[in-house]
Amino acid sequence: MKHDMKVEERYFSEDINSLKAYDEGFGTAYDNGGSYVLTIQLSKLNELCPRKTQNKQMYQRLVTFLYEKGITLRILSRKRDKSIEEETEGN
């Protein structure tokens, strides 16, 4: 079931505000309708936007919503994304 974008925006308002405070580029892109890629550790995302359990699947609806807004949210997990994590730190 796909929800209306306004409903999703209200549902994720606290998460969005937390991510805006965490990353200025995210806030600018979100407010101005620009595209942006935010790569973040799962542990940090869980700190900013807590969920009942800490796993990537708990954030899938948020990822989908942000994608519709032109923002890619890449969540790195220490267990599964070790090579991506090292590549990101090297840049």
What's the whole-model pTM score?
A: 0.80
Crossing angle for the helix pair 13-22 and 24-32, to the nearest 10 degrees: 130
**91: helix, coil or strand?**
coil
Can you give the residue range of the structural domain that contains 28?
Answer: 5-90
| pLDDT score at 87 | 42
pLDDT of residue 2: 65
Predicted local confidence at residue 82, as pLDDT: 55
pLDDT for 42 beyond 70: yes
Q: What is the pLDDT of residues 51-84, one digit of tens each?
A: 988 888 899 999 999 999 999 999 998 776 554 4
Please give the tally of structural domains in the chain: 1
Q: What is the DSSP letter of 50?
A: -
Model pLDDT, residue 88:
42
Other residues' Cβ atoms within 10 Å of the Cβ of residue 19? 22
State the pLDDT at residue 5.
Answer: 87
